[in-house]
């Protein structure tokens, strides 16, 4: 099945200890039974594999895009790696990223790479408060291009301050899709099938019941 890569991704991040189980305090002050730290993809092989999963998710989504954009700073290595992974899949696309501060010498400008044009898809690690997405959308629109979606590694499917998750808020406010390599639903189904990690299923399900959202909320 096409979606098999989602479980493969969960297995990958567990093996790399990017996804860990236990008790972790989130930014919202909640005690989560799992923690996903995309900052731990810090070697060449891990980044290569991560980018390949992004490419699979993008191609499976059916979302049309002309180029990629990576918000500084985490999005910079991600967008370059995903562009390479897509090229390996036969899809050669341009990419660019932004600087934190606009450069007034040399080539100048706020962005580096290909000029922003057409339908631009944002590559990021996660969506929490949505600040990175908002800034990226502003940059893309200011260049006269069209933001057409966001790709992230993991959707926690967790409520923010209201009834919607941060991902759902982005989708509704900007009217564009958020593509995730995997979601909390995929993690739960993976735990059901994995004997070594099944002990974490009760805690994850309890947390989802308390703070989770449904996919079609």
Residue 103 is a catalytic residue: yes
Reported as a single tens digit per residue, the pLDDT across 181-217 is 999 999 999 999 988 999 999 999 999 999 999 876 5
CA-CA distances (angstroms) from residue 29 to 52, 87, 130? Answer: 33, 41, 18
Which of 64-73, 91-100, 101-110, 174-183 has the weakest average pLDDT?
A: 101-110
End-to-end CA distance of the chain: 26
d(CA 113, CA 94): 8
Of the residues 103, 141, 196, 206, only one is catalytic, namely 103
Contact 147, 141 (CB under 8 A): yes
Task: Say how many C-beta atoms besides its own lie within 10 A of residue 181's C-beta.
Answer: 25
What residues contact 14, with CB distance under 8 A and at least 6 apart?
197
7 in active site: no
Neighbours of 17 (CB within 10 A): 9
Secondary structure element (H or E) that encloses residue 70, with its range: strand 67-70
Q: CB–CB of 69/94 below 8 Å?
A: no
pLDDT of residue 3: 59
Residue 113 CA to residue 67 CA, distance in Å, equals 11
pTM (2 d.p.) = 0.92
Classified as helix, coil or strand, 194 is coil
Question: How does DSSP classify residue 63?
Answer: -
Task: For domain 4-211, say whether CATH 3.40.50.2020 is its number.
Answer: yes
Residue among 17, 27, 105, 196 flagged as catalytic:
105
Structure tokens at 18: 């990017």
Cα separation values, 28 from 32, 61, 161, 172, 213, Å:
10, 30, 9, 22, 16
Q: For residue 103, what pLDDT is reported?
A: 56
Sequence spans of domains, the chain: 4-211
């Amino acid at each position: 099945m096409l979606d098999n890569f989602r479980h493969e991704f969960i297995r990958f991040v567990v093996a790399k200890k990017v996804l860990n189980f236990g008790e972790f305090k989130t930014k919202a002050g909640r005690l989560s039974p799992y923690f996903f730290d995309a900052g731990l993809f810090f070697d060449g092989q891990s980044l290569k594999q991560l980018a390949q999963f992004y490419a699979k998710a993008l191609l499976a989504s059916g979302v049309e895009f002309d180029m990629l954009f990576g918000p500084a700073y985490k999005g910079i290595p991600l967008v370059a790696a995903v562009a390479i992974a897509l090229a390996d899949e036969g899809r050669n696309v341009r990419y660019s990223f932004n600087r934190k501060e606009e450069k007034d010498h040399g080539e100048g400008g706020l962005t580096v790479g290909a000029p922003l044009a057409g339908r631009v898809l944002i590559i990021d690690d996660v969506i929490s408060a949505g600040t990175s997405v908002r800034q990226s959308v502003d940059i893309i629109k200011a260049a006269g291009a069209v933001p057409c979606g966001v790709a992230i590694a993991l959707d926690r499917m967790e409520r923010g301050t209201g009834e919607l998750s941060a991902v759902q808020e982005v989708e509704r406010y900007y009217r564009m899709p958020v593509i995730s390599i995997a979601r909390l639903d995929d993690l739960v189904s993976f735990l059901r099938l994995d004997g070594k990690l099944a002990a974490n299923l009760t805690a994850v399900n309890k947390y989802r019941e308390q703070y989770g959202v449904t996919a079609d909320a």
